[in-house]
Amino acid sequence: MNKKNSLDEREVLSAKISSDAAKGWRDFCAGNGITISAFLEVAGLELAEEKIPPTIEARQRMVKAARTIDQKRRSRKKET
């Protein structure tokens, strides 16, 4: 999978989850200064490569990657 191209091509992912789970996602992402969509992007790529993040270090790497995705998406919005 070409990650650069996959970031340009987007699909909608929708799920109904419990209120507690939704709060968990929102709180985790807000606490790390990232969007849920960017974190899901990174998690999906990790899962596609069969790298389930079992450690804090892996989670921190995912947050860092999600921040990069958010920054790129914000800069594209400013260009349009």
- How many residues are given for the chain? 80
Residue of 71, 9, 70 lying closest to 40 (CA atoms): 70
pLDDT for res 52: 63
The yes-or-no verdict on residue 54 having pLDDT over 70 is no
- Name the DSSP letter for residue 9: S
> Which tens digit of pLDDT belongs to each residue from 1-37?
455 556 678 899 998 888 998 999 999 999 999 999 9
pTM of the complete model = 0.65
The Cβ of residue 45 has, within 10 Å, a number of other Cβ atoms equal to: 17
Can you tell me the distance from the alpha carbon of 71 to that of 78, in angstroms, rounded to the nearest whole number?
Answer: 11
Mean pLDDT for the stretch of residues 47-63: 76
**Segment (H or E) for 5:** helix 3-8
